[in-house]
Amino acid sequence: MELNHTHDVCRRSWLEQANTPDCDFPLQNLPLCVFRRRGSAEVWRGGVAIGDQIVDLAALHQHACLQDLAAEAVAAAATTTLNALLDMGPNAWRALRHGLFALLQAGSTQERLVRETLVPQVDAEYTIAVHIGDYTDFYTSLDHAVNCCRQFGLEVSPNFDWLPIGYHGRVSSIGVSGQQIYRPMGQSRPDPAGAPVYGKCARLDYELEIGAVIGVGNARGTAIPLAQAQQHIFGLCLLNDWSARDIQTWEMQPLGPFLAKNFATTLSPWIVTLEALLPYRTSWTRAPERPQPLDYLRAAANGSHGAFDIQLEVSIQSASQAAQGRRPRPLTRTSFRHQYWTLGQMIAHHSMGGCNLRNGDLIGSGTVSGPTAAEAGALIELTRSGIQPVDIGDGEQRGFLEDGDTVIFRGWCDSAGYARIGFGTNFATVVPPLTA
C-alpha cells in the first residue's frame, strides 16, 4: 500500500478528456462499476471509468490485451458483479489497475484495441457493482451527534467516545444513483402527549456518508486487527442513508433505527479503489481532552494514515429547478477527515467479537459532518429540525425534503502534486408513496 507510478500526476492518457484539470476520472483514478448501454437488453458487466468513457471489461477480456494475473482479474471483473474480482485479493486488484494504467497511458501500443472497448458514460446505465450480503451503518461523526443532541437538550451518549456505534441495515432496498425514493409511510407521534398517527413521512432527510466495500473478509471467530483493517477494503463510494426523522424519533427507543431507515439507501455507481486514494490518506487524531480509544482500537498506522481527506458536497434540486434547467446551489461542503472514528476502527470493532465480514459487504460511515454550520451532513442539522429552513436557490427553501426534490452528492480529492480523484455523483429523486 505504497505510492507508485500510478499516482504520478505527470502521467497522461491518450484520451484527452481524461487530462482536463476538473476531470473526476483521470488516468490516476480508474474506478470500477457494473453497467450496460441504457435501454438495451445487454448483459451487465464490469467497467472502468476514464475521462468521459467506460472501458468495457468484457470487451477488453475478449481482446486479450492483458497477461497473467491482470488477465485473470479482468476476466473476473467482466461478469455481472465484481465479487469474483474482490475474492481474488489485493494482488489481483493491483495487477488489474496497473495493467489498465499501462493500456490507457499516452504512448500505449494497444491504444487502437482499447479504443474499441470504450462506451460513452452518457450512453450507460448502472447497477450496484457488487452483490452485497450484509450492510452495516455506523454513527461516527461527533459533530453530527452533538448537533442533533443539542436540539433536544440531550448529551451525546457516553459510549460514543469508546466504540464506533452501528446497526445492521437492510440490503434489499439498496439502490444505485438515479433511483426514485418513495416517501415512506409509517407511525409518528407529533403530539408527545397524544397517540401516534399513521401517515406519510413529513420529515424526510438525507444523510451524507461514505460507503466502504469489503474486498477480503475474515473467518468466523477471528478478528481483523486495526493495523490490517484497510487491507480488507476494496474501495469507497458515496452513500445516501435516507432517513424518516419523524418515524425515527418515535420508533427507535429502545432498539434503534428500523422503518425510518430500511426504505432506501442510495450508492454512487463508481467504486474508487483504495490504491487510487493512497495520496489522500491522512493522519487521525483525537482531541487530548476526549477519552482515547481502548488498545484494540489504537494502532500506529491508524494514527499516521487512518483518515481520508475526501471533499464532500450536497445540493438539492427542486422539481421546478429541474424543469427550468437551473443548477442547484451547494448547501454543504465538508471533508471525511473529520470523522471521530476511522473506517479501520469500524472494521476492527465490527469483527472483534468474531463476526465474519465477507467480500461485497457494505460499511456505511455514518453522517459526515464537520465542525462548522456549513459542514452539516443532514437537513436535521442544517435546519435545526426544520425550524430554520435553508435556501436551496431561486428563492426556494427547505426544512425537510419535498416530493420532486433531487438530492445530489458529489465527492472528490484534490491536492497540489497529485491528480484529482473524483467519485462522480450520487443522486436520487423523492416521489410520493405508491400506497397511502
Give the Cα separation of 88 and 300 in Å (integer): 28
Task: Give the three-state DSSP class for 153.
Answer: coil
**Rounded (5°) CA angle 250-251-254:** 115
Give the Cα separation of 413 and 210 in Å (integer): 13
Beta-bridge mates of residue 409: 314, 426
200 is in an annotated binding site: no
- Please compute Rg for the chain using Cα positions: 22
Q: What is the DSSP letter of 114?
A: H
The answer to whether residues 182 and 156 touch, using CB atoms and an 8 Å cutoff, is no
Helix axes 68-77, 90-104, angle to 10 degrees: 100
393: alpha, beta or left? (left if phi > 0; alpha if psi -120 to 50): left
Instruction: State how far the alpha carbon of 395 is from the alpha carbons of 171, 180, 388, 398, 407, in Å.
Output: 37, 25, 15, 10, 17
367 is in an annotated binding site: yes
Which element (helix H / strand E) includes 167?
Answer: strand 165-168
Task: Give the three-state DSSP class for 184.
Answer: coil
Hey, which residues are catalytic here? Answer: 144
Contacts of 152 (CB under 8 A, 6+ apart): none
Give the Cα separation of 101 and 8 in Å (integer): 11
139 is in an annotated binding site: yes
Beta-bridge mates of residue 293: none
The answer to whether residues 55 and 118 touch, using CB atoms and an 8 Å cutoff, is yes
* 303, three cell numbers: 494514527
How many CB atoms sit inside 10 A of residue 422's CB?
A: 22
Ranges assigned E (strand) in 31-161: 32-37, 45-50, 53-56, 118-120, 124-127, 135-139
* 370, three cell numbers: 464537520
311 is in an annotated binding site: no
What letters, b where the CB count within 10 A reaches 16 and e where it falls short, cover 302-313?
A: beebbbbbbbbb
Beta-bridge mates of residue 45: 35
Contacts of 100 (CB under 8 A, 6+ apart): 30, 48, 55, 66
209 is in an annotated binding site: yes
Give the Cα separation of 146 and 128 in Å (integer): 33
| Annotated binding residues for Mg(2+) | 241, 261, 265
Annotated binding site for Ca(2+): 137, 207, 209, 241
Binding-site members for substrate are 139, 248, 367
Annotated binding site: 137, 139, 207, 209, 241, 248, 261, 265, 367
